[in-house]
Structure formats: structure tokens, C-alpha cells
Amino acid sequence: MSVQFGTNISVAKKRVKFYNRESSAVTIYEGMPVCYIFDTTANILGYDKGAGGDPKSQSTPDTTAEGYQNEGKFLIVETVNDDNHLWFAGVTTGAKNGKSVAATSYEWIEIYEPNGAIVPVRVDVYTTVGVTILALEHDSQALTQPLSTSEGRPVAIAEEDGTYSSGTPGLVLARLCPNEFIYQDSNGTALSAVGSDGGTSDVVVNRINLTTAQTAGKFTALDIRATIESTASSQSGGCGYGLALYAQADINGVLSGSQNAGVAFWTNINAGGDLTTQYFGLEVGIYEGGADLSGCGFIAPLCLRMQIDGTSGPTAKRQYQMYLRSEGGGSDPDGLFAAYTLNSIGMTAKTSAAVSHIIPIEIEHGSGTGTYYIMVSNAA
């Protein structure tokens, strides 16, 4: 079993080449993140594999065209830029700390590979041991926060407290573990799940398929939790969203299927016996634990949003905020919905047989703001 702690273990090292493609010289720092040049055509063996033949007779022996297994793709590394985050190679050791490398030149360096070992890394952010996530950043020689503005890929977890900042980066211990985070983005460009020749089969990229035979407790296939810790003063400008999960499907092109859903949640109940309790396909809730809501505009467990910007909308009276459907082969529902209590739907009390029930609807913005009512007649 390989030791996974320390800075002198062979499993955490690999000799590679460092290549600076910028217009100025660069200084190599200990713990500096580097990435493979995945799109390079330069090679370091002095032999163009695409051309073949005698190396002395090759016209371009220092380049290998795309498609000919250029060794530069896995032997040459560079500083982090705006499109190589997916090809994180590791961080530099202290072997050449402080060495200056001229522009467009090569230098042999030593790196720690991201294999779960705890090694020194260069950071420009405050860190807490065992808590702080560290990520790549465009044109930076230090790890930082996973910033959305730079598609920062998380690659490590800090294993030491540190008080470094963007102006004064320094070294802390960290565990290089990029595979613990999901990152499928190439500088804002979507990775393709289907080859350039297209495809007609069902495609699944990430799959979780679990089962359990437990007789008590809860079973959860995926648990996502996001906690915003703040005070009124620190969040006076507004955080925007506190999202545990954000899902968006962009439909580009014309689809001919009968059901085209951007994001779908489906609960399939295959009970082996009689159902004896309540079942919900999807449950959404808000639980407020005593905060002062006097300054809150409104609060609701579900918000439906729609915007139609096409040159012409669907057939008249076919644009809905919600569409209800009963699947074929099953029994039709007994009603539109069921409520736990009258108060659950804000219904006013019935005072006589001649008075209709009403459900108040508050219009918050735009023309016609105020209270409107859904009227439910008592007439037989």
C-alpha cells in the first residue's frame, strides 16, 4: 500500500516538461498548478509521427499534426489559462522554486500528480484545514476559490490553515483530489455527449443506480445541501440565489417528440403489495424557523416562470403556467388537488349555503396588482 502523506513519495511525482507560451518570462514557484497542453502540435522528441520516414529528412520534425498521438499532449505542461482546466496535471515541487524561464522556452520541472496525496500548494485565499476547497483560476500561478467567472475547477482540499491573499500568495498543505468534484466544462463550452456524426440512441452521461434492502431508516441516492451563512449586514447587497441544485436544459433546434421536457422528475411506484401510506412524486417545501419576515416581500414553496419570445406563440389559448396530464391506462384523478386543511389554500370560511367559497390570488407586479379570487360555486 502506497503512503499517501508527505512530500518525498514517488507516487506523487512525475517528471514532465514545462512550456511557457506567453510573450514574457515566467517564474516557477513551488506548489504552482500546471495543466497539460491538450491542443499542442509541438513535440519534444524531434520526430513528426505524421510524416514518418527518416527523421533527418522531415521538414517539420518538431511538430506533430492532430490525430497522430503527439507525445506533447501528455509530456508538456503549461501555466493555467482559460481553456485547459480539464487537463490539470498537478503542482510543482520545490525543485526549481524561483527559477525564471524565458518566453517560448522549455524547462524540465517536477510535479506532484493529483492522486490524493497531501502536498504543498500555492494559494491566494484564506484556508481552513479540512474545509476549504481550492480551484484553478485563469492565468494564475496559485489555487483559489472555485470562481464561476473563470470556470474555476476544484482540484484540492486545504489541509492547513492559512491567511494568504491574492496580493501575497503562499504555501499550505492540501490534498490534490480533482476527482472528488464534478467538473464537465471547457471554458464555458459544453462537452459533447454524442460524436460529431450525431446519434439516435438514448444517451446518459452521469448515472446513479442504487438499491437497498433496509427495513428502517431513510434511503437517499443523492444528497445535495447548500448552506448560506450570513448576517443582515454582510448580505445587505443581496446574495442572489441560494441554490442547492440548479438545473437548466437549453433546447436548440426543432424537436418533434410528443413530450419535450427541459428538466423532468419522475417517481415510479412499483409496490409489491398494497399501498398503506401517502406517496408524492415530488415534494417541495419551505421551513422557516422563527426569522423576522416582516421585511420579506413574499414567500412561497414553488414559483413557476415562463417567457415566450417566439415570432408567434402556440395556438390561441395554449400557453399555460401549468399543464396537468393523466397517463393512459390508469384511472383518472378524483379532483384538481387535495388540501390538508382549509387554511392550506387560504380559503375563506363558508358562512351560508348561498355564499361561494373563494381562493384569494395576489398579483404582485405589473398592471392589475392587488387581490383577485378564484370563485367556487356552491350551486349543485
Q: Is 239 exposed, middle or buried (0-12, 13-18, 19+ CB in 10 A)?
A: exposed
d(CA 228, CA 223): 17
**Which of 180, 204, 235 is the endpoint of a domain?**
180
Say how many domains are in the chain. Answer: 2
Is residue 44 included in any domain, yes or no?
yes
Is residue 104 included in any domain, yes or no?
yes
* Mean model confidence pLDDT for the chain: 82
Is residue 106 included in any domain, yes or no?
yes
Is residue 338 included in any domain, yes or no?
yes
Is residue 161 included in any domain, yes or no?
yes
Map residue 87 onto helix, strand or coil: helix
If you search the block for the grid coordinates 418533434, which residue do you land on? 256
Question: What are the residues whose beta carbons fall under 8 Å from the beta carbon of 107, sequence distance 6 or more?
Answer: 17, 18, 28, 96, 99, 101
Question: Which residue type sits at 103?
Answer: A
If you search the block for the grid coordinates 422557516, which residue do you land on? 288
179 grid coordinates? 476527482
Q: 140-151 in b/e burial notation, b at 16+ Cβ within 10 A?
A: bbbbbbbeeebb
| pLDDT tens by residue, 263-295 | 778 888 876 677 777 788 888 888 888 777 777
Residue 317 has a pLDDT of: 66
pLDDT category at 235 given cuts 50, 70, 90 is: very low
Contact 150, 81 (CB under 8 A): no
Number of residues in the chain: 380
Handedness of CA 345, 351, 357, 361 (dihedral sign): negative
Indicate if the pLDDT at residue 190 is higher than 70: yes
CB neighbours (10 Å) of residue 93?
Answer: 21
Is residue 377 included in any domain, yes or no?
yes
d(CA 80, CA 36): 9
Question: Which residue type sits at 25?
Answer: A
Q: Which domain holds residue 337?
A: 320-326+333-380
pTM greater than 0.85 (yes/no): no
Is residue 263 included in any domain, yes or no?
no
Residue 348 has a pLDDT of: 65
Indicate if the pLDDT at residue 3 is higher than 50: no
Q: Mean pLDDT check: name the lowest of 65-69, 70-74, 298-302, 350-354.
A: 350-354
Contact 84, 29 (CB under 8 A): no
β-bridge partners, 108:
17
**Which of 139, 156, 180 is the endpoint of a domain?**
180
Is residue 375 included in any domain, yes or no?
yes
| pLDDT tens by residue, 201-232 | 888 889 999 999 999 999 999 998 888 776 65
pLDDT category at 98 given cuts 50, 70, 90 is: very high
| pLDDT tens by residue, 165-176 | 998 999 999 999
Q: Mean pLDDT check: name the lowest of 107-116, 223-232, 330-339.
A: 223-232
Residue 114 has a pLDDT of: 93
| pLDDT tens by residue, 122-141 | 999 999 999 999 999 999 99
Alpha helices in 48-91 (DSSP H): 72-75
**Which of 180, 210, 242 is the endpoint of a domain?**
180
Nearest to 137, CA basis, from 179, 182, 81: 81
